[in-house]
Amino acid sequence: MNVPPSLSIELNGIPSSLTEVFDSISDTVFFVKDETGRYVDVNSTLVSRCGFERKDQLIGRRVDELFASPLGQNYAEQDRSVLRGQRIIRSRLELHLYPTGQKDWCLTWKEPLFGTDGRVLGLAGLSRDLPPHLPVARDELGGVARALDHVNGHMEEPLSPELLAQLADLSVYQLDKRLGEIFGVTTAQYIIRTRIEAARYKLTRTTEPISFIAHDCGYSDQSTFTRQFKRSVGITPNAYRKMYANLRERNP
């Protein structure tokens, strides 16, 4: 999911068609939450997995009121971080254990929803189950998730396929194979993609100098960051920031 960061909505008046699109997709949970982290819209899949019959039984509740500790607290902290505008979550590998007892590995996306004045109004997110036919050993996914969480939590530090493979308790070849099966990228490509995605968010949502963003995203100097960003995105960080600013001016 790639929710436009400039999306402006009134959370108490979201068109019903927004979640109706997801109601018939049984392997995907979709939700919208307000600025306090309370559900304002959900799809039918989330309702059934939480053991309810109607959507209104979920509306107004927080995730930590539904999911057992520590998962509920972890999800709630994710929400708070997104709502503070500090991060976005894209393709995060997680184990979900629902109140009904159903569990499986999934990929989660969460992004803030902004009003026209730039204020965070809430967030939108989805979690999609890993396909059951995916040729990846489920018993290895805990280690893979641990390695990927390290990338997201220590982006400014030196990262290497060897370090992540050690954290995952796999060889570099095995980790490359697992990430290829799940994301279609190698470990080294996953590190670059995560850093560049974080940089894109910071360039459009903060006024931090590009040199600071480069450091925060793990690049020792701005020139190295600029080369990698242009190679990945097609334009320089400064041009990307200006392009986004121009788009916002034309579409306030």
pLDDT tens-place values along the chain, 252 residues long: 334 333 334 444 444 556 678 888 889 999 999 999 999 999 999 999 999 999 999 999 999 999 888 888 989 999 999 998 777 898 899 988 888 888 889 999 999 998 877 788 999 999 999 988 777 777 889 999 999 999 999 999 999 999 999 999 999 999 999 999 999 999 999 999 999 999 999 998 889 999 999 999 999 999 999 999 999 999 999 999 998 887 766 665
CATH number for 11-129 (one of 1.10.10.60, 3.30.450.20, 3.20.20.70, 3.40.50.2300): it is 3.30.450.20
> pTM for the complete prediction?
0.78
Please report, for residues 113, 190, 191, the alpha-carbon distance to residue 185 in angstroms, rounded to integers and kept in the order given.
Answer: 28, 6, 10
Third-level CATH fold of 138-250 = Arc Repressor Mutant, subunit A (1.10.10)
- Domains of the chain, by residue range, sit at 11-129, 138-250
